[in-house]
Amino acid sequence: MQSPFPGMDPFIEARGEWDDFQRKLVGAIGSAIGSLLPEGYLCRIANRVYFESLPEFEGQPRLHDTAARELKYVEWYLDIKRVQDSQRPVVTTIEVLSQQNKWPGRVGWNEYQHKRDYLFCGAANLVEMDLIRGGVRPPMKENLPDSPYYILVFRKEQSPLASVYPAYSTVRLPVVPIPLLAGDSDMVLELQPLVDDVFQKSRYHRDMHYEKTIPNLRPDEQELLQKYLERM
C-alpha cells in the first residue's frame, strides 16, 4: 500500500521507523545511481562507526562496564569515485541525514560536522538530504528554506556556495542533480520513486496508524491526511 503523502511521509519518523528507512533508502539510491553513472565512475556504500555514551540519570545504578554505557552507531552513505585514477578519489558524497546527525553536542553531530566542513573546503561535492523534521539542521551562513525537508547540493568548484531545494510531504520530492567532476554533466536522480518503493516493499503502512495524529503537522498535511482517512 502506498503512503497517503505524495512526498515524504512524516509518519515514518514519528513511528520510529527512520533508521530502517534510511538504510534502505541509501541502498536504493546507490543502486539507482550505479546503473546510470557514465563510464569512468562507480558508486559504493560506505559507513562511519562511532559510539555514543548513554546518559546517566539521578538514582540510576552506576554502570562500570564501558561497553554497557555506550551505544554503537553505524551510519551509511554513498561515495561516487573516479575509476581512472589509481587512488579512486571521492568525487561526490551523498548523505541521507540520521537523527544523530541533528543532535548538537552528540558524537553523531560532531562526526558529521567535521566531514561536512572538510567537504565544504572543496574536498569533494556533497549532496545532503534532510528528510526528517526532528532535531537541529546543520548550520549554514544563510537561512535554509522554511520547509519541512530540504536537499542541499554543494559543488566544490563553487565553494562556498550551495544550491538548496525545499522538500515537502504534500508534493513530490524534487528531482536531485548529482554533480560529478567539472566538465561532466550532472546525473539526474528521481528521488520520489525510490522513496515510494522503499515504503511499499517495507510495508510501513502496517505501522503508521494514520488515524492517530502526530505533532506539528502543517494544515495542508492535516487536510491531505483527513481526505485519505475518509477514503479508507
pLDDT of residue 70: 87
Tell me what the mean pLDDT of segment 156-160 comes to.
Answer: 93
pLDDT of residue 60: 46
Per-residue pLDDT of 25-43, as tens digits, reads: 999 999 999 999 999 999 9
Would residue 195 count as lying in a domain?
yes
Lowest mean pLDDT among 56-60, 67-71, 76-80: 56-60
pLDDT at 16 over 70: yes
Per-residue pLDDT of 165-218, as tens digits, reads: 999 999 999 999 999 999 999 999 999 999 999 999 999 999 999 999 898 899
Tell me which residue has cell 539542521: 137
Would residue 109 count as lying in a domain?
yes
Domain that holds residue 77: 10-52+69-231
Comparing CA positions, the residue from 69, 125, 75, 70 lying closest to residue 99 is: 75
Tell me what the mean pLDDT of segment 107-125 comes to.
Answer: 97
Flag whether the pTM goes above 0.85. Answer: yes
Would residue 2 count as lying in a domain?
no
To the nearest 10°, the Cα dihedral for 184, 36, 129, 92?
Answer: -40
- Averaged pLDDT of the chain: 92
> What band does 55 get if pLDDT is binned at 50, 70 and 90?
low
Would residue 84 count as lying in a domain?
yes
Tell me what the mean pLDDT of segment 211-226 comes to.
Answer: 92
- Distance in angstroms (rounded) separating the CA atoms of residues 202 and 5: 16
Would residue 3 count as lying in a domain?
no
> What band does 57 get if pLDDT is binned at 50, 70 and 90?
very low
> Total structural domains in the chain?
1
Question: Is-contact 12 21, C-beta < 8 A?
Answer: yes
Beta strands in the chain (DSSP E): 41-53, 70-82, 90-96, 125-130, 149-154, 162-167, 176-178, 187-189
Would residue 64 count as lying in a domain?
no
Q: pLDDT above 70 covers what percent of the chain?
A: 94
Q: pLDDT above 90 covers what percent of the chain?
A: 84
CA distance between the termini of the chain: 12
Per-residue pLDDT of 131-151, as tens digits, reads: 999 999 999 998 899 999 999
Would residue 57 count as lying in a domain?
no
Would residue 1 count as lying in a domain?
no
pLDDT at 11 over 90: yes
- Which cell numbers hold the place of 99? 537523527
pLDDT of residue 86: 73
pLDDT of residue 51: 95
